[in-house]
Amino acid sequence: MRELPFHTILIANRGEIAVRIIKTLRRLGLRSAIVYHDADAGTPAVSMADTAIAISGRTPIAAYLDIAQIIAAAHKASADALHPGYGFLSENAEFARAVIKAGIAFIGPAPESIELMGDKIRAHKFVQRKRFPVAPSAIEEDDPATFTFRARAVGVPLLVKPSAGGGGKGMRIVRDLATLEDAIAQARAVRGRGTSAMAGFTSNDMSKTRGTSKYRCSATPSET
């Protein structure tokens, strides 16, 4: 196996996510370091890591979102790379830039990619320019005056989603066009302003999909 460019990786996460990363690092012969809030001091991830560094915060979440503390911990652990896991700061472009600026490799997408894919409307237009196939959709910012008309033209069922909501926040399924405007308003409320995009999706037989739906395209209000 070729020599890897890293020796110690700081894990900026907790719980099962961190355990998985630690196990992988062991298989690769790399050292693991982890940050932890006092509430997680007795968890398996903390005991499994080669180095564990305490960070503080009013709540565990506040601690795991503290960019300055995490970078300081990486330096303390002599980490040459940082793995954000998923959730927390993993999709924060500012964090990725700060890690790189501190001379630590960020294991994840480039900050520019995080920013691009974090806005569903920008991402949708980007893949269109690259000539990837995309599903029928309507994006409000393209022409706000005709948005509802264009959304109705896509047909039901529809999915309404905030551009930068994340985690499914503000997402609404519309099966009856009479509820369309209410769904858009709820999606907008996630960010308090911005536009919405509509996209259709198809529902398969419930017995075949175990209650899931196949989305043709996400639909989203953007921050403009």
* Token pair listed for 196: 């919405």
Spatial CB neighbours of 216, under 8 Å, sequence gap ≥ 6? 135, 136, 199, 200, 201, 202
Do 69 and 63 contact (CB within 8 A), yes or no?
A: yes
pLDDT at residue 193, as a whole number: 43
Q: Is the pLDDT of residue 1 over 70?
A: no
**Strand pairing category for 51-54 and 31-36:** parallel
Do 197 and 163 contact (CB within 8 A), yes or no?
A: yes
Binned at pLDDT 50, 70 and 90, residue 167 comes out as low
